Structure 1
Amino acid sequence: MPASVTRRPGTANAVVLGLAAMLGAGVFGVWGPAAAAAGVWLPVAVVVAGIVALCVAAAGSDIARAHPEGCAVGGSELLPAGLTRLANLAYLVGRAAVAGTAATVFGSYVLPSRPVLAAVGLVVVVTGLAVAGVTWTLRSAWALVGGVGVVLFVAVLVGLAGVGGSPADVSAAAQAVVPVGPASAGAPGLLTAAGLLFFTFVGFSRLFPLATELPEPRRVIGLTLGVALLVHLAVAAALLCGLGVDDVATAAAPLAALVDAGGAPALGVLVRVGAAVACGSALLAVLAGGSRTAAMMAQRGELPRVLGTPGRRGGLWRADLMGGAAAVVVVVALGPVGALTVASCALLVHYALVAMAAVLLPASARSWPTSIFATGAVLCVLLALLLPVRGLAVTVVVLVVLWVLTTVNVRRRARADR
């Protein structure tokens, strides 16, 4: 989430910026597919996702410190140009799918009778704000974390005080509603859920631009992910206690269903408002991050150069429009589970390459052990391969097509510049 601050951020401010990016659409909307895959092992899947996030956040932080002017994988200095291009394309596809997921979660909470209409409407409104140059400030991040924190605290209290369904295995009906990957039980199902839950932690990338400004980036990353992990564990426990696995797996808006089951309609309104604000802010941040990457690729000749041309006010409004259009396509074509799966898969591919690049950093540029980076890369690949098959196939096809097109574009421009 971009922060309009000119002074050096302290530890508390950096942690809040990271949490503001992580406590968004994921904590409100990822639980259905994850519960369908992991069953009663949902909290363990949360821990696995948090561990993977820590590994790749460490990698991204060290790369940002060593190459503050480059992309997330340190430009072409660490990885070959083709892999760097793939990493950036995976990031763009992942951000578009994240935007679509945030919009679908918004629709599920705000207008469950017409979720697609509400989702598209949110994308249009937020894209307009992005084009107008609206961004999030540090003060906004504090307000967002405080507000969403209160909403989640209330939902957790209601869930832990409830006597919802028993934690039985996922029923066949639940599996029909929420398509999952190789299995819905045991280690494969747990890892499938962890891959989906990785989506909820990807806001850690907000800390990368601060890596060169913070005196103790390792401490900030550890604190931010530690707090986020505890919050997600509390929400997972509350959902299992208050609703049970079957109801969580089939709920389009699980936290709203949780407080509704607790007989607190007023709190249901509070949760829906919190979800709406969190999804809207997440969408605005995602569009901003995607437009910067698109502009960088346009300057390298990989995407149309017009995407890297700033407008009269200096904003990348063309890239913002492209991001909004891509989010609408995701909403309409993939639906909630498909958007979530593609988002998780594309970002796992991206961060697998980030971790690979970090392994290649010289020893003097690393503040974390190389084994952490290697572990992150392997786990990212493993979790991506165990995601729902349809979402995995869509991601692979889209990335291959985009990689071929951008590679051809680069070579064509290179010949034209000779």
Structure 2
Amino acid sequence: MPGDGLPVPAGLSAVLAAAAGRAAEQPVGGAPALREAACGYWERRGLPTRLGRVAAAPGAPALLVALTAALGGDVLVPRPCAAWWAPYARLLGRPVFHVPTPAESGGVPDPYALLETVRRVRDEGGDPRLLVLSVADDPTATVAPPELLHATAEAAAGEGLHLVSDETWRDTLHSPHDTVLLSPAEMLPGQVTVVTDLAGALLPPSWPAAVARFPADATGRDLHARVLDVLTALGARVAEPVAAAAGHALGEPADVVERRAAAVRLHASVAAAAHAAVVAAGAFARPPQAGRHLYVDLGPLRAGLAAHGVGDAQELEDLLTTRLGMPAPGGHRFGDDLGALRVRLATGPLLGDTDEERTECLTSPSPLELPHVQRALMSLRSVFDDLRDDAQRRESPR
């Protein structure tokens, strides 16, 4: 998960420090105070939640492992998808099937491709039970339109699939007043478990905490109980100081809300500038709508990349990581085809090298005009322009 690159807010640090001397353990699934804070968080987003249908864990991966183990069967995910989804299912010995996404967005499978994949898996003796999706997506940084989500949710429901909606990035919309984000739990309240990793918008990635919201019916009750059994077997408890900070953040006091909004504005502006740079060089990328990253397809520059010995996503990752001086994970890490020349670029590394520079980005009314940000974006443009020029030189004369 790409971090925001920013210093920890003073308010959160104070809450964590105040709880550092607590010796008691959080119970598996989270203490009532943490779960009540999660209920309030979802209530404010139009998802009324019962206290007995919430579980907390030290990060979303623990919750997904527990859900996959509790539900059984085969797992369906979009192509591409968050890098950590498929490995945890495979860890449990569960087959994972990637379903193509439509051209306009990632995170949610095409409904017709989903139906065809389910049919094929069953014809081959498989047992698909779980579909994991994300409306605000990592890695593509897009937000699936409501009509697509509705069609896919209906298709999944018709096939008896349980949906896990990873809503880690829902609070990082770049244009929150212009982008409509719906949770599938609003459409299928009895068949959707919502998972939110607080590292998306509320906590630093080094403070692992995530919460899950289960359906309110008997199915949700039974699934919640089975998930708690798995979390108990794993010893997956949120550390007490982190739980205190998580509860504070989920309560969304003014300082947390203001900091989150400032961070989202910052990353949105840098992502837009990075998107303009890569598109101007001839690469393809959907305009980023959420998160702090963008997903770039360098297929149009394949001829130039071949001159550098790049023929697949791993080789592209190696080249760009070296040239950019920042991580550039290839699309194969997100379940994409190895032969496709795609990478995810994070915006955090473009904010500076020191806490002072990154804090200046957060407080500046014009962060793109700061010298260190301009240098970082200029370096990005230079790398992609060089690849464009290489591709043009290698094109056959007309």
Q: Which has the larger radius of gyration?
A: 2
Higher strand share: 2
| Structure with greater helix share of residues | 1
Fold shared, TM-score > 0.5 on shorter chain: no
TM normalised by structure 2 equals 0.26
State TM-score, norm by structure 1.
Answer: 0.25
> Which fold has the larger relative contact order, with Cα–Cα distance below 8 Å and residues 6 or more apart in sequence?
1
